[in-house]
Amino acid sequence: MIYRFFILFIGFGFAVIGGVSIVAYLNLLTVGYSIAEYLLFLVGRLELYLFLLGILLVWGMIYLPFKMK
């Protein structure tokens, strides 16, 4: 049980780090980047993958069943 909480908090941390960075990169749109250029920029950044990994970890720890021994 404590293992699931630990993974949940790590996933939450990854999602927060990635999400804050993605929102901060929205400033590129005001500089003149188009939506397509912004998305291509995000694909090359580690923060996008941290965000996705964090969301998957949180979702998995909340919704996937676990076995009690």
Asked if residue 27 is part of any domain, the answer here is yes
pLDDT in tens, 2-56: 889 999 999 999 999 999 999 999 999 999 999 999 999 999 999 999 999 999 9
Q: Which domain holds residue 49?
A: 10-61
**Is residue 58 within 8 Å of residue 13, measured between CB atoms?**
no
Residue 39 maps to a domain: yes
67 inside domain = no
**Count of structural domains within the chain:** 1
Q: What is the value of pTM for the model shown? A: 0.86
- Whether residue 66 lies inside any domain: the answer is no
5 lies in a domain? Answer: no
**Is residue 1 domain-resident?**
no
Looking at the chain, the whole-number percentage of residues with pLDDT higher than 70 is 97
Structural domain includes residue 34: yes
